[in-house]
Amino acid sequence: MAASSDSPAARGARSARPVGTVTRGTTNTNRLRRMDRWIAHTLGRTLLGADRPPVAVDLGYGAAPWTAVELSTRLRAVRPDTRVVGIEIEPERVAAALPYADPPLLTFRRGGFEVPLDGGSAELIRAANVLRQYEEWEVAAVWERLCGRLTPDGLLVEGTCDEIGRRHVWVALGPEGPRTVTFAARLATLDHPSDLAERLPKALIHHNVPGRPVHTFLTDFDRAWAAAAPYGAFGARQRWVAACRALAGSWPLVDARGRWRQGEVTVEWSALAP
């Protein structure tokens, strides 16, 4: 896929500077815990099977290094020698993160979508709350570039969440491209599943209109949620599980009750793709 002359990839090719633009940098402790929990579960076999210390990248971690520190802790619980690299464009953010480094298990460096690593590829690249500031037409080239930095069984996780991590939506991609979309929430604060629409990744958010697959999915999810209202007497978790079970009859969900109980549901990308 050739990048447009005005795309982030093309801009990087014309300059030695890191590829991309500076994000707002908003960050909070535990903001990405739901995404991290899913990554640890989904990527666990890959991490354990790597024949060298696996590498994970927290791309665009923001004004403070908390998300990279937490990702390191969570992935090291799966495999203790996992190496997390926090990457940021702004030198000041890198400098502020350095006191939290724990080489070689946790390091920080300046960079962007080129993903500067000391040789090799990464088992994981997480880009949370990074692409929302870009135009939709730029996303495909960024995805392609980042996927090119993955190991054959690696994963790119790109998505968006609110400021304190109650609502997330992310796309998981392999080297070949997008695979799944995951919706995750703190269920006690959720009125309707479609409340998650405001956190759709850039590739989907402008397609949440009648007649498009993602809108139809969220509409069906709201209907299933309403029909599952009696389960609310046993708690929001049981209501969510019942709604997901109903959805599974008409949508290609790739997870099951164990993940639904975590306030998640994952659907094949092909079912929601614009």
Q: List, for residues 156-212, the tens digit of each pLDDT value.
A: 999 999 999 999 999 999 999 999 999 999 999 999 999 999 999 999 999 999 999
Q: What number of other Cβ atoms are within 10 A of residue 119's Cβ?
A: 5
Alpha-carbon distance values, 253 to 32, 73, 90, 219, 234 (Å): 22, 29, 39, 16, 24
Question: DSSP character for 1?
Answer: -
pLDDT at 97: 97
Domains of the chain: 1-175 (3.40.50.150), 186-263 (no CATH)
Tell whether pTM > 0.85.
Answer: yes
pLDDT (tens digit per residue) in 248-271 = 999 999 999 999 999 999 999 999
| Cα gap 204→202, rounded to integer Å | 5
Burial class (CB in 10 A: 0-12, 13-18, 19+), 224: buried
- What rounded mean pLDDT belongs to the chain? 93
Least confident stretch, 24-33, 64-73, 89-98, 163-172: 24-33
pLDDT at 78: 98
